[in-house]
Structure 1
Amino acid sequence: MASASTDDPHPLRRSSSYEYLPPYMSELRVVLLGNSWSERSSVGNLILAKAVFSTEKEPNRCLTVRGPLKEKEIVLINTPDLLHPNISEHKLTEHVENCVRLCDPGPHVFLLVLQPEDFTEEHKLRLCRVLEKFSERSYDHSLVLISTPRKKSPALMEKYIGQPVLKDMIMKCRYRYLRQKNLERPELLTGLGRTAKENSGEHVSCEIFQDPTSTSAGDNQRTKHKEAKTTTLTDAVKAAGLQAYTKFSEQLSQLSLSEKTPVPHSE
């Protein structure tokens, strides 16, 4: 993993010799999540090296932009406010489904852009809820990016990182995190690429959203139950057939014996 499991996590560092993506990956699909549209958009623009996302007006849908990544491609999906306290379960599922379709067959990395002074226990629970909507393995594919605190203070960032809520989120994401202050594009791209490489270039599987014809859990249970009943019935038929075959064989043997036994002629 990026860092050792410790109570004093350290951010990922850039390696000048590190390629953004391993040779077997042709593109990197990244989903931006967090509690500020403006911050997510600024980070997205930094990744793409141009102002693509508006930092002012927040849309009510996911936005996708493709850009070059050396000789390969990066696909960014910027999400609306999925951490809003009043968002319904139906609406959240709808946004997640749309996000998955836009990054088909699935995202490689979730970039969690978090404002430290606003990241409360409630925000953490909402973020976990969103990640788990995609997959239980989303944490393995997540990289935390901590925004610069609005108040300028050298010791303030260390204070926020040491808080249990943010610390716990970093731990859930396998201690992968970067600080936005003085962060340059190559360092951020390296962090994204390293997260993908640690997962062997595999994307998050979200099959439940990709296939609209897939059956529900209830349907699956009913199918399994039906298959079990069919198997039981088949076994019973086989057993009955075996018994019938055994009886028929016995009858056939008796008939054969009677045919071979000479019948005395009456005078």
Structure 2
Amino acid sequence: MSHSNKISVVVLGSEDHLKKALITLILGTDLSLLPKKNDLKEPGIYENDMHSVICPPDRACNDLKNVFAPNQDPDMSLLVVKKGFTTEEVWKQVDNLHRITGKPTEEFIVVLPLGNKESFYPFKCYTLDQVFRKLTQLAEERESTSTRLPAQPAASWSQTPPHPMKEGQHPTTEVNLVLLGMTGAGKSASGNTILRKKQFISKASSKPVTTECQEAKTEIGGRRVRVIDTPDIFDDNRKSPNKEHVRKCLELCQSGPRVYLLVIHVSRFTDGERDILKKMETAFGREVVKQTVVLFTRGGDLQHGGMSFEDFLCGCQPDLKKIVEKCGGRCVLFENSASYSDQVEKLLQIVDRM
């Protein structure tokens, strides 16, 4: 789909009449007037001068895989849901799309029914107004790109050839990853996993090992990454966050965007963590949840128990589920005793989309 200057949109969902209604709104044309098939029983492409909308059958795995094949690049992937939906059933749909297509769950935008306002869900969601604002933005960006003249002659590339980039990579971007969480959650170990080297001291201990904020830098996929390890800023023995640690933490990440990684042990959720988001807001401001990814550690515990990460998220304690929902469903699972490169890649995919 990326070969065209049209905005490419994939419309997904189990409710055919809702999919037809959304496609009609996007194209501004009754589908019966278009030359393409509109029974939605097989992949159909519906187009006007600005948009190309593809609507694969809900449960046709091969068609879904083809739509999201590596050579395809839809600008938006919209999942239509009906009124009265439950968070659990929609999350299962999003997760199923992720498993079939291999695309991150953040790529699938749930279109909220009319009357539903944006709220905290464990998936990315837009109101209809937000969908059309995004489509307008994409059209303006596409028009700007198509009319922009080259900044320099092609011959200049011979001196500094560009590195090939994968989707989502930003070679000039610097990002700060701030590790937060209670003592023993695995902050330092997670930092070492991201850095791919043992930069921070990490060991089993009944006492806090990290006592001061520390930083370490690396480069991943052409992206400069600064990892900031912190002590337990939210010690239960203190009535408020440790202001000195907060000041030092912010001082270390003054340049570049900042993403907070809330580190939680997958097999241990403590009373002190139930209101940790409030503590983070006190320390870093009310907008902190919009910049937070929940990083669960000890992923091997789930594997040994025969449980998938998705099952864990669906069945975890209500207070923990609320934390994930308030962070927009942004979460990853780490096993710091293993050298799985994909767990860091999954984290940075989420970071890129933030």
Q: Within 1, Cα distance between the matches of 2:333 and 2:279?
A: 24
Shift of the alpha carbon at 1:27? 0.9
Give me the identity figure in percent: 26
- The answer to which structure has the higher helix fraction is 1
Q: How many residues align?
A: 196
The gaps in structure 1 that reach 5 residues or longer are 199-267
- The answer to which structure has the higher strand fraction is 2
Selected match of 2:251 from 76, 101, 106: 101
Dislocated runs of 4+, deviation >4 Å: 1-5, 8-18
Q: In structure 2, the residue corresponding to 1:76 is in which secondary structure?
A: strand
Match of 1:153 in 2: 305
Q: Within 2, Cα distance between the matches of 1:187 and 1:74?
A: 16
Selected match of 1:74 from 215, 225, 249: 225
Q: In structure 1, the residue corresponding to 2:88 is in which secondary structure?
A: coil
Question: Larger RCO: Structure 1 or Structure 2 (Cα < 8 Å, ≥ 6 residues apart)?
Answer: 1
Q: Within 2, Cα distance between the matches of 1:28 and 1:118?
A: 29
1:119 is aligned to 2:200: no
TM-score (norm 2): 0.47
Match of 1:189 in 2: 345
Match of 2:88 in 1: 7
Q: Within 2, Cα distance between the matches of 1:78 and 1:160?
A: 26
Shift of the alpha carbon at 1:19? 3.8
Shift of the alpha carbon at 1:38? 6.3
1:169 is aligned to 2:323: yes
TM-score (norm 1): 0.61
1:87 is aligned to 2:238: yes
Deviation digits for residues 190-228 of structure 1, max 9, x if unmatched? 423433433xxxxxxxxxxxxxxxxxxxxxxxxxxxxxx
Shift of the alpha carbon at 1:178? 1.4
Q: Within 2, Cα distance between the matches of 1:18 and 1:3?
A: 23
Shift of the alpha carbon at 1:74? 0.5
Q: Within 2, Cα distance between the matches of 1:170 and 1:95?
A: 25
Classify 1:106/1:28 alpha carbon distance in 2 versus 1 (closer, same or farther; 3 Å): closer
Task: Give the conservation status (yes or no) of the 8 Å contact 1:38–1:55.
Answer: no
Classify 1:20/1:66 alpha carbon distance in 2 versus 1 (closer, same or farther; 3 Å): farther
Shift of the alpha carbon at 1:88? 4.5
Shift of the alpha carbon at 1:73? 1.1
Q: Within 2, Cα distance between the matches of 1:194 and 1:177?
A: 8
Classify 1:175/1:38 alpha carbon distance in 2 versus 1 (closer, same or farther; 3 Å): closer
CA RMSD of aligned residues (A): 3.5
The gaps in structure 2 that reach 5 residues or longer are 1-75, 80-85, 105-164
Q: Within 2, Cα distance between the matches of 1:146 and 1:139?
A: 16
